[in-house]
Amino acid sequence: MSVSVEKLEGSKIKMTIEVAAEEFDKAITAAYNKEKNKINVPGFRKGKAPLNVIEKMYGKEVFYNDALDELIPNEYEKAYDEVNEDIMSSPRFEVVQAEAGKPVIFTATVAVKPDVTLGDYKGIEIPAIDTTVTDEDVEKKISSELDKDARYEKVERAVQNGDRIKLDFEGFVDGVAFEGGKGTNYNLVIGSGQFIPGFEEQLVGAQIGADVDVNVSFPEDYHEESLAGKASVFKCKVNEIEEKKVPELNDDYAADKGFETVADYKASVRSDLEVDKLNDARGKKQDAAIAKAVENAAFEVPEEIFETEQKLIIRDYQQRLAMQGLSWDSYMQYTGLTIDKMMEQVRPQAEDRIKSRIVLEAIAEKEGIQVTDEDRQKEYESMAEAYQLEVDKVREMLEAKGSKEMEKDLLIKKAMEFITDNAKEV
């Protein structure tokens, strides 16, 4: 494989990649082996027709597209590692030559990191952030912890706000039941706001086993357009009521938390809050410093870079949904979103990420910031802990696939720490 690079206007390059003829022949053979069982050729059992017979019958280019679909991305990845450019977008491919027995030639046009003219980034002034922990903060935190430790006990009385109930319901619009509007023994906490506005309030006072009609209107911006703004009636029956029992704050409760007295417990909560507030203030200071450094810098980002980042954000979200066992298609149908709408929604996030990265890398270069072996080791240890793997295994995996991206991430982190440490609170 050989690669030549042509610089284009607008922070783009065109890579011309030439792949040896034998590699294309191998790809054609691989495509043939993958597809031959789907092809019927008179005089041969299915899947047994030789490659040259199929090419003669359907044309010698019959497997070209499949071969190129495999070959081009793989060869581009090799070229990517060889090119001394900071590529920041997905490639746009164009085949120049593709013929059996001859080298394959294709181009890959990509956007690269633009040149940056840095403005002020050291000594950036940001508003001072109050890190004081008040008695009210402590009480709110303890109240939240007590609420988390609350138990629910069955009761024989009418529904009250805060109760957890088991509910049968079915919704009707204009007397007709609608899809997705029915549930059996559904767990619902009254006052949680889980259902549409006005629904839960009408169940207060309901008795176990009694039929209750709940009359509500769907919001005008409801995700299911056929129901948006429509008046509806839900036929409901409460099967079970559980009352929320919040524990009392006393020495016994403190002992359950690992402390001798309530005073000790409160002191620990205050200490944790102080750490949280300092970390939160550090994060806000960092965000403000980065935003100001980006604002002070001058550079133009090719649209392709933003689009690539938008797609990466969406792909990450798809993967998180999959890990939760949720179908992407079902999610899109339920929310009424489209890929175009999601691209629009994540655009601000993509712009912030890309602009920050570009400026921080420029700062790291100007300040001579380097990634050390100690930095790498800490990253290996952090990743090993997160993924429950041996540190050596993490190092081996990263080094096997190349650690270029990890190096960039570590460099950006160090640049972030640099401008945060140099920022001034006023």
User: Looking at the structure, do residues 211 and 309 belong to the same domain, yes or no?
Assistant: no
User: Looking at the structure, do residues 156 and 238 belong to the same domain, yes or no?
Assistant: yes
416 lies in some domain:
yes
How many domains are contained in the chain? 3
Nearest to 22 by CA among 62, 75, 58: 75
Nearest to 224 by CA among 340, 332, 328, 334: 334
User: Looking at the structure, do residues 278 and 366 belong to the same domain, yes or no?
Assistant: yes
CA distances from 418 to 222, 292, 293, 413 (A): 46, 14, 12, 9
* Residue pLDDT tens, the chain, 426 long: 899 999 999 999 999 999 999 999 999 999 999 988 888 888 888 888 899 898 888 898 999 999 999 999 999 999 988 888 899 999 999 999 999 889 999 999 999 999 999 999 999 999 999 999 999 999 999 999 999 999 999 999 999 999 999 999 999 999 999 988 999 999 999 999 989 999 999 999 999 999 999 999 999 888 788 888 999 999 999 999 999 999 999 999 999 999 999 999 999 999 999 999 999 999 999 999 999 999 999 999 999 999 999 999 999 999 998 888 888 888 887 777 889 999 999 999 999 999 999 999 999 999 999 999 999 899 889 889 888 889 888 888 877 666 678 888 999 999 999 999 999 998
Nearest to 60 by CA among 49, 68, 52: 52
Alpha-carbon distance of 65 to 61, in angstroms, equals 8
254 lies in some domain:
no
pLDDT of residue 401: 63
User: Looking at the structure, do residues 236 and 269 belong to the same domain, yes or no?
Assistant: no
User: Looking at the structure, do residues 240 and 387 belong to the same domain, yes or no?
Assistant: no
146 lies in some domain:
no
Nearest to 425 by CA among 124, 25, 86: 124
Whole-model pTM: value is 0.76
193 lies in some domain:
yes
User: Looking at the structure, do residues 269 and 230 belong to the same domain, yes or no?
Assistant: no
CA distances from 318 to 35, 201, 205, 330 (A): 30, 35, 42, 11
User: Looking at the structure, do residues 171 and 299 belong to the same domain, yes or no?
Assistant: no
Alpha-carbon distance of 126 to 406, in angstroms, equals 30
CB 298 within 8 A of CB 117: yes
User: Looking at the structure, do residues 353 and 219 belong to the same domain, yes or no?
Assistant: no
User: Looking at the structure, do residues 356 and 304 belong to the same domain, yes or no?
Assistant: yes
User: Looking at the structure, do residues 180 and 240 belong to the same domain, yes or no?
Assistant: yes
CATH of the domain at 280: 1.10.3120.10
CATH of the domain at 58: 3.30.70.1050
Query: What domain range is 302 assigned to?
Result: 262-425
Angle, alpha carbons 108-112-113 (nearest 5°)? 170
